[in-house]
């Protein structure tokens, strides 16, 4: 693995190997030492959480970071090309971690520079480290990625996170339940992908009463702005808000996941149940990113 740009580039074996290394980093069986290694964090669009997670991952391994964030291209005013900006930054750093609103920007960067590139999100396209940390959270809590039943809830139409997760999990033998308002259903191309791979899925309107057989319930936010009117939103929002009472009768191994930040789609009374897993999930992001960086830098 030279870069991490898209989940499409990863084989099942590469994913499992990465999970294994993340696990060993978490338990201290592998202690990568990235002393004197510098990661350039290029965030052409703000995402404080993702940036912090990468920054933490580097520093946990004795590495350091240089950070460029905010504008699309800091050199744009001087008329420097994006390629030149990237080439220059590649001279300073050992690895480039890049987030951009432009789709395909990370792929392009990986073609321009010699150092490894990690895609930390390119518009609506890919966010592979999120997908991998989700997979790591699933394997860690369930002991496997095979034969699981996974519920995805919320905005399934526009949510990049749930798309990547559905596609990544489709490499394994899973079954899905999709919970969303009808106009925010999983896009047809993803459903077609799943059907081609013989992955079973069911589309449902309500979380309540439909989660007893799940191993994972992955909740995402539904933005109010997606609805035609605030009244329309109020009418359905209750169907996609998870609270403690809905968890009566779920499987003991069931975990509730969420990419964070949450607004009100998971009631805070869920937080102190044994099912809540969103904060450990964020922590898993650091181990997963440590593993990715270590692999790309040839340290493990």
Partner 1 sequence: MEQVKQIKVNAIKNGTVIDHITAGRVQKVLEIVNLDSPETVMIGMNLHSNKIGKKDIIKIENKVLSQDEVNSIALIAPKATLIIIKDFEVVSKDYLELPEKISNLIVCPNPKCITNEEIINSEFRLTEDTPPQVRCSYCEKKYPIEEVKIKK
Q: Annotated catalytic sites, by residue? A: 49-50, 78, 99, 127
Could you tell me the smallest distance in angstroms from the CB atom of residue 53 to partner 1? 23
Indicate if the alpha-carbon torsion angle 87, 92, 95, 100 is positive or negative. negative
The nearer residue to partner 1, 97 or 207, going by C-beta atoms, is 97
203 — phi, psi (to 5°)? -110, 125
Rounded-to-10 torsion of CA 243, 245, 251, 256: 10
Q: How far apart are CA 281 and CA 263, in angstroms?
A: 17
CB 35 within 8 A of CB 156: no
Could you tell me the smallest distance in angstroms from the CB atom of residue 158 to partner 1? 14
Could you tell me the smallest distance in angstroms from the CB atom of residue 87 to partner 1? 13
Could you tell me the smallest distance in angstroms from the CB atom of residue 189 to partner 1? 7
Indicate if the alpha-carbon torsion angle 155, 161, 162, 164 is positive or negative. positive
Q: Can you list the pairs that 75-83 forms with residues at least 24 positions away whose Cβ atoms lie under 8 Å?
A: 82/108, 83/112
Question: How many other C-beta atoms lie within 10 A of the C-beta of residue 284?
Answer: 26
The nearer residue to partner 1, 143 or 187, going by C-beta atoms, is 187
The nearer residue to partner 1, 149 or 157, going by C-beta atoms, is 157
244's CB contacts (< 8 A; 6+ apart) are 267, 269, 270, 273
Contact residues for partner 1, defined by CB under 8 A: 6, 8, 81-83, 101-105, 107-108, 122-126, 189
Cα atoms in the 13 Å half-sphere on the side-chain side of 166: 30
* Angle (nearest 5°) at CA 233 between 229 and 239: 160
Eight-state DSSP code of residue 262? -
Could you tell me the smallest distance in angstroms from the CB atom of residue 101 to partner 1? 7
The nearer residue to partner 1, 22 or 171, going by C-beta atoms, is 171
Q: How far apart are CA 194 and CA 83, in angstroms?
A: 37
The nearer residue to partner 1, 42 or 282, going by C-beta atoms, is 42
Eight-state DSSP code of residue 155? -
Could you tell me the smallest distance in angstroms from the CB atom of residue 8 to partner 1? 7
61's CB contacts (< 8 A; 6+ apart) are 32, 33, 34, 37, 290, 293, 294, 299
The nearer residue to partner 1, 123 or 280, going by C-beta atoms, is 123
Angle between helices 278-296 and 12-27 (to 10 degrees): 110
């Amino acid at each position: 693995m030279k870069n991490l740009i898209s989940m499409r580039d990863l084989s099942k074996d590469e994913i499992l190997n990465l999970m294994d290394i993340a696990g060993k980093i978490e338990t201290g069986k592998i202690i990568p030492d990235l002393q004197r290694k510098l990661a350039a964090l290029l965030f052409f669009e703000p995402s404080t959480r993702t940036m912090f997670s990468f920054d933490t991952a580097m520093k946990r391994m004795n590495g350091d970071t240089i950070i460029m964030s905010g504008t699309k291209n800091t050199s744009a005013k001087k008329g420097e090309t994006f390629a030149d900006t990237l080439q220059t930054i590649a001279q300073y750093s050992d690895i480039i971690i890049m987030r951009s609103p432009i789709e395909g920007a990370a792929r392009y960067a990986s073609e321009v520079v010699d150092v490894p590139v990690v895609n930390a999100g390119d518009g609506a396209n890919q966010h592979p480290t999120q997908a991998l940390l989700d997979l790591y959270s699933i394997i860690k809590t369930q002991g496997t990625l095979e034969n699981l039943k996974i519920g995805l809830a919320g905005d399934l139409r526009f949510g990049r996170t749930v798309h990547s997760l559905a596609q990544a999990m489709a490499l394994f033998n899973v079954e899905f339940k999709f919970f969303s308002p009808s106009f925010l259903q999983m896009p047809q191309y993803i459903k077609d992908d799943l059907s081609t791979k013989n992955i079973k899925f069911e589309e449902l309107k309500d979380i309540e009463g439909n989660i007893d057989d799940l191993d994972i319930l992955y909740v995402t936010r539904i933005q109010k702005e997606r609805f035609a009117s605030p009244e329309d939103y109020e009418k359905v929002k209750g169907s996609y808000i998870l609270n403690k009472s809905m968890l009566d009768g779920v499987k003991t191994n069931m975990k509730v996941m969420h990419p964070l930040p949450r607004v009100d789609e998971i009631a805070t009374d869920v937080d102190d149940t044994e099912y809540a897993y969103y904060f450990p999930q964020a922590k898993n992001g650091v181990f997963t990113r440590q593993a990715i960086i270590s692999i790309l830098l040839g340290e493990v």
